[in-house]
Amino acid sequence: MMRKTDFAFWTFLLMTGFAGAATVLNVTQTHSATTSNSDLYRQLDLFGDVLERVRSDYVEKPDDTQLIESAINGMLTSLDPHSAYLSPKHFRDMQVQTRGEFGGLGIEVTMENGVVKVVSPIDDTPAARAGVQANDLITHLDNEQIVGLTLEQAVEKMRGPVNTPITLTIVRKGQDDPLELKIVRDIIRINAVKSRREDDVAYIKVSTFNEQTHTNLVRAMQSLEKEIGPSLKGFVIDLRNNPGGLLDQAIAVSDDFLERGAIVLTKGRNNEETQRSQARPGDIAEGKKVVVLINGGSASASEIVAGALQDHKRATVVGTRSFGKGSVQTIIPLGANGAIRLTTARYYTPSNRSIQAKGIEPDFVVEQELPDELKAKAKETRVRGESSLRGHLKNDKDDKEASGSSAYVPKEPEKDTQLQYALNFLRGKINGPATTSAPTPEPEKKAN
């Protein structure tokens, strides 16, 4: 039995697991070998020789289990940025994570230049209350350096029992000296859907796609429809900085607004592995206008929803270009030995667009206004995108790859340029684009 998943990018949630998991599918996949059996066995003999030499001659006695797990993970991570080995513990943690409840700090992170970079703190968690901010660089954990650790190892050190403290040493732009933040671990409950009334518009923020997303979205929409009543002008579905999650939840959310037609196509290596998800009759919004907000932090499952509603012209997409992760991962259990997360398919929008390393381009490009203190650091608010990840899958349609876009979203709604544009659009005050196209940033230069 396998689980098909749609992960945003190689981002870990500092709780008790990884981001994402998915619909259980009864799928058996067989692929023809790319080399002859004799060549394969010869290479396995080489692996065995190296393993034995490490076990016998390494300066310290290595842990055999760790050696094998590291070798497996090295093989998988060399394929693309989203394939990986999950140890039994991490596999169990991932299964818990998809239910939307975890234990830990409440930080979404990635690895950059050997240190852990905060993608964003999760609202109402110990990390957010302690003052952790997006783009913070975590250099030490309880005064021990992170440099030299993998992202997974760093995440493991940040996990721990509830009510136990950990001290994070943080380097922050604009601060001369490192900051030390003491955070007490806690149970993190992720509310994937938050909603509020914006006068005559229903605003719904979807932060991730876990097992509760579809149900909570429907509940939020019904509640706001009842509260606002006949004066309701439409819905804003905010997918900004949503890294993705469960594929089946992205399909269900898209289906909520569509009466018919394809939602997403997934294509594996072989033609017989192509699957098409179809919408069922019924539009929960009852034909009212919908605006979907996206930005450089909107990835995978978010892009499926935005692409489906955009292709069917059911929603107007506003914001900046999305992340560009157009691949699907399958969780393949290995019994008592954990699981592997393997990229098994690419996904396409209903009009057969591949967004891999390209992203979803909004109908109306609206750049977020930056506060004065960030204007001089505009590049720091820009997510680099899938095309910047080492070893990423190339766009198989030869579409031009695109770099990332801004991921900054102000906390105050009145300062949120993209939200205000969406509200005015739904109220009929705006009918055209704010800009003709998104600005193309200069490519990042890296030293070798």
For the segment 265-278, what is each residue's pLDDT rounded down to a tens digit? 999 999 888 999 99
Residue 434: the pLDDT is 54
Both 136 and 261 in one domain: the answer is no
Both 183 and 217 in one domain: the answer is no
Residue 21: the pLDDT is 31
pTM of the model: 0.75
Q: Is residue 340 part of a domain?
A: yes
Q: Which two tokens stand for residue 343?
A: 């990229």
Both 138 and 110 in one domain: the answer is yes
Q: Is residue 444 part of a domain?
A: no
pLDDT tens digit sequence for 18-48? 333 333 333 334 444 444 688 888 889 999 9
Q: Is residue 39 part of a domain?
A: no
Both 317 and 403 in one domain: the answer is yes
Both 118 and 238 in one domain: the answer is no
Domain at 112, CATH number: 2.30.42.10
Average pLDDT, the chain: 86
| Domain end marker among 142, 167, 189 | 189
pLDDT tens digit sequence for 288-313? 999 999 999 999 999 999 999 999 99
**pLDDT higher than 70, residue 126:** yes
Closest CA to 275 of 27, 54, 87, 62: 27
Residue 217: the pLDDT is 97
H or E, element range at 343: strand 339-348
Contact between 128 and 106 (Cβ < 8 Å)? yes
Closest CA to 361 of 246, 439, 278: 439
Banded model confidence at residue 432, pLDDT cuts 50, 70, 90: low
The single-letter code of the amino acid at 106 is G
Cα–Cα distance measured from residue 61 to residue 388, given in angstroms and rounded to the nearest whole number: 38
pLDDT tens digit sequence for 364-422? 999 998 888 777 776 666 777 899 888 999 998 888 888 779 889 998 999 999 999 99
Cα–Cα distance measured from residue 329 to residue 325, given in angstroms and rounded to the nearest whole number: 11
Both 151 and 210 in one domain: the answer is no
Both 155 and 200 in one domain: the answer is no
Collect all residues with Cβ–Cβ distance below 8 Å to 320 and sequence separation of at least 6: 294, 295, 296, 362, 365, 366, 367, 368, 405, 406, 438
Residue 433: the pLDDT is 59
Residue 287: the pLDDT is 97
> What are the distances in angstroms from CA 429 to CA 87, 203, 416?
53, 17, 17
What Rg do the C-alpha atoms of the chain give, in angstroms?
22
Which residue did the predictor score with more confidence, 41 or 14?
41
Domain that holds residue 419: 193-426
Both 334 and 260 in one domain: the answer is yes
Both 275 and 370 in one domain: the answer is yes
Both 135 and 268 in one domain: the answer is no
| Domain end marker among 189, 219, 242 | 189
Name which of 2-11, 119-128, 359-368 the model is least confident about. 2-11
Looking at the structure of the chain, the number of domains it has is 2
Q: Which two tokens stand for residue 115?
A: 């240190």
pLDDT tens digit sequence for 171-189? 998 899 999 999 999 987 7
Residue 380: the pLDDT is 65
Both 329 and 379 in one domain: the answer is yes
Q: Centre a 10 Å sphere on the Cβ of residue 315 and count the other Cβ atoms it contains.
A: 25
Q: Centre a 10 Å sphere on the Cβ of residue 429 and count the other Cβ atoms it contains.
A: 9
Q: Is residue 106 part of a domain?
A: yes
Concatenated DSSP letters of 104-170: E--EEEEEETTEEEEEEEPTTSHHHHHT--TT-EEEEETTEE-TT--HHHHHHHH---TT-EEEEEE
Q: Is residue 434 part of a domain?
A: no
Q: Is residue 3 part of a domain?
A: no
Domain at 360, CATH number: 3.90.226.10
Q: Which two tokens stand for residue 362?
A: 């909004």
List residues with catalytic annotation: 300, 311, 325
Q: Is residue 228 part of a domain?
A: yes
Cα–Cα distance measured from residue 227 to residue 247, given in angstroms and rounded to the nearest whole number: 31
Strand 339-348 versus strand 327-333 pairing type? antiparallel
Residue 40: the pLDDT is 86
